[in-house]
Amino acid sequence: MAKYSTELLREVSYAFQKFKEFTPEVAEKFQGFLEATLKTGRLSLREKELVLVGIAVAIRCDPCIALHIKKALDAGVKPEEIAEVISLAVLMGGGPVATSSAKAFRILEELTEKKKE
Instruction: Count the residues in the chain.
Output: 117
Per-residue pLDDT 10s for the chain (117 aa) are 469 899 999 999 999 999 999 999 999 999 999 999 999 899 999 999 999 999 999 999 999 999 999 999 999 999 999 999 999 999 999 988 998 899 999 999 999 986 666
Model pLDDT, residue 99:
87
List CB contacts of 106: < 8 A, sequence separation 6 or more: 4, 5
Q: Which of 1, 24, 5 is nearest to 68 (CA)?
A: 5
4-116 maps to CATH 1.20.1290.10: yes
pTM above 0.85, yes or no: yes
Q: Structural domain boundaries of the chain?
A: 4-116
Q: Say how far apart CA 89 and CA 92 lie, in whole Å.
A: 5
